[in-house]
Amino acid sequence: MRKNVPPHSAASAPQEVRIIGGQWKRTRLPVAQSPGLRPTPSRVRETLFNWLGQRLDGWRCLDAFAGSGALGLEAASRGAAEVVLVEHDAALCRSLGITLAKLKATGVRVERGDGVAALAQRQGQGLDLVFLDPPFAEGGNEALFDEALRAARRAIGENGLIYLEAPRALSGDELAQRGLQLHRHGRAGQVAFHLLRVLAAE
């Protein structure tokens, strides 16, 4: 949910995002003022949940870089049984807590901390879906993306999925080195988005 962007762009950041499907459809979510915070656009979320099949009943999900919480709350709105929103920024965590209280989102919880560490703690837990939207930095922040993907791979189940936003499209070879393969992909402006699966055994 967070991109490192030029300072002038922060002023044009959306002040709210809207859940686009499920029980909280059309609910507006506030977007706190935070440098570089960029919620996933509605059209990208719509594409993603078309790929996922609209309903996520019973799924266990983790949003490792939650920001505004748009991805995780969209999953909860569509029936996910458990959603963890991990965010390191205290002000954003407070904002998320207020939103959850207003929604009475009992299946969602906010966890303040590091997204990669949160995934590492869930190694072998067989999560159904992990959202990864790490901060973009000059040069692409390659080390963080690598750590996040490897930790997410160990946290999801055999049929689990990883959604990744990145400043560039990842190749099949890059993904295979992390035990993953591309399921779907797209691009919105300067952001490449991917839906990944566990690499099938040959």
The pLDDT value recorded for residue 8 is: 32
Three-state SS string over the chain comes to CECCCCHHHHCCCCCEEECCCCCCCCCEEECCCCCCECCCCHHHHHHHHHHHCCCCCCCEEEECCCCCCHHHHHHHHCCCCEEEEEECCHHHHHHHHHHHHHHCCCCEEEEECCHHHHHHHCCCCCEEEEEECCCCCCCCCHHHHHHHHHHHHHHEEEEEEEEEEECCCCCHHHHHCCCEEEEEEEEECCEEEEEEEECCCC
The pLDDT value recorded for residue 11 is: 41
The pLDDT value recorded for residue 30 is: 79
The pLDDT value recorded for residue 138 is: 56
Per-residue pLDDT of the chain (202 residues; tens, 9 = 90+): 544 443 333 344 457 889 999 999 999 887 776 666 677 888 999 999 999 998 999 999 999 999 989 999 999 999 999 999 999 999 999 999 999 999 999 999 999 999 999 999 999 999 999 999 988 765 557 889 999 999 999 999 999 999 999 989 999 999 999 999 999 999 998 889 999 999 986 5
> Does CATH place domain 7-198 in 3.40.50.150?
yes
The pLDDT value recorded for residue 4 is: 45
